[in-house]
A and B are shown apart, each in its own frame.
Chain A
């Protein structure tokens, strides 16, 4: 086995390849595999949906804050770089 850095990178490479391998699975295969690894596959899907919803919410909040500034200010800022 190589030095420390190599070792960390090799383990990272493995997990990244496993992360990519999930994309190649059919819908049936992914559902079957998830059922074998987690007690509640629905909960797993729900976790992802919540993460996406929360990201939308955060983005909209930031957008709302950003657009509170009048157009003229935004334009002035843009022209000032």
Chain B
């Protein structure tokens, strides 16, 4: 059995929103009981074990290792649950008992099932390098949600560990976190106006998560979650970026001159002539022109809110708004709160 400590574990929030996490114990004293992220690796091949250990430690996990089923189960009972359990599909049942690769192997699955009997929600990774597709890996229904590691190309293990961390972060979202995300998504969609093209806040939130999950593939697509920021902050950043992208696409960032074609008589025509325009109709224009006034009109007896609104419309920072209009910080905060409540309430009405 090996007991290793990671070089770093836990995450650091850049926002003052939540109370700071308790400090990590000094380097060298971190253990399975003090580190937030822990893993049990069950593998009887030395070189693979070294690779798995390296990756988990790089990812900030405290790791326990076992080389056979008996030891794995004993460790799980003593130290479980773990943030992740990685088991090789072909596993020796007991120490000194060698695997006969000519015979179908089930020990890895059996130990995975035994662990699931102890803890049905244990996150599980099954390494099955003898197979070329996930569909070929025979496993019971209870293990269909386990992540499968078929090969080690393209940082596959890194991606699967990141996926486990994302799943855990989703599970740990509090009702306040969920409301914060939904509220923020709804405001962003409202800011998009016609550029939202019928999408909802839930669509934006789902897109932000999908993009994060795509980031675990390391294919250059999607958005990777930098663990230096908490998951809510990451998703809110992803929503900001996705909504800007939707807006840019709606506005159509291309030059028509680049796609003009000449006919035999030299007449220039554009293939875009028959494409429906994103330009607002005269009615839309009127509505948009009036929107700013309409919002200000909702706060007719609230001078602080009107000043803050004017500052926000102008893109001023909080410090610039308080300075320009001589507002105290708590007056600014209270005005923003009233604006938030009234505008969100208006959209929900």
Interface string of B305-349 (1 = CB under 8 A from A): 000010011110000000000000000000011011101110010
- Chain B residue nearest to A59 (CB atoms) is B213
- How many A residues have CB within 8 A of the partner chain? 54
Complex contact B312–A23 (CB within 8 A): no
Q: Which residues, 52 to 81 on A, are CB-close (under 8 Å) to B?
A: 52, 54-56, 58-59, 64, 67-72, 75
Residues of B within 8 A of A27 (CB): 18, 174, 176-177
The secondary-structure label for the interface of chain A is helix
A9 to chain B, nearest CB (A): 9
Q: Which residues, 4 to 44 on A, are CB-close (under 8 Å) to B?
A: 4, 7-8, 10-28, 30-31, 33-34, 36-38, 41-42, 44
Contact A10 B340, CB 8 Å, known A47-B202, A51-B202, A59-B213: no
Q: Which residues, 278 to 308 on B, are CB-close (under 8 Å) to A?
A: 280, 285, 288-289, 291-293, 295
Complex contact B179–A31 (CB within 8 A): yes
B65 to chain A, nearest CB (A): 27
CA distance A41 to B18 in the complex (A): 20
Residues of A within 8 A of B205 (CB): 48, 51-52, 55
Does B206 interact with chain A (Cβ within 8 Å)? Answer: yes
Residues of A within 8 A of B339 (CB): 18
Contact A31 B193, CB 8 Å, known A20-B184, A24-B17, A75-B153: no
The secondary-structure label for the interface of chain B is helix
Residues of B within 8 A of A11 (CB): 191, 193, 288, 291-292, 295, 313
Complex contact A7–B292 (CB within 8 A): yes
List the interface of chain B (C-beta within 8 A of A). 15-18, 132-135, 150-151, 153, 167, 170, 173-185, 187-188, 190-193, 202-203, 205-207, 209-210, 213-214, 232-233, 236, 239-240, 243, 247, 280, 285, 288-289, 291-293, 295, 309, 312-315, 336-337, 339-341, 343-345, 348
Residues of A within 8 A of B192 (CB): 12
B196 to chain A, nearest CB (A): 11
Residues of B within 8 A of A56 (CB): 167, 170, 209, 213
Complex contact A19–B315 (CB within 8 A): no
Complex contact B343–A68 (CB within 8 A): no
Complex contact A33–B341 (CB within 8 A): yes
Complex contact A71–B183 (CB within 8 A): no
Complex contact A16–B348 (CB within 8 A): no
Residues of A within 8 A of B247 (CB): 12
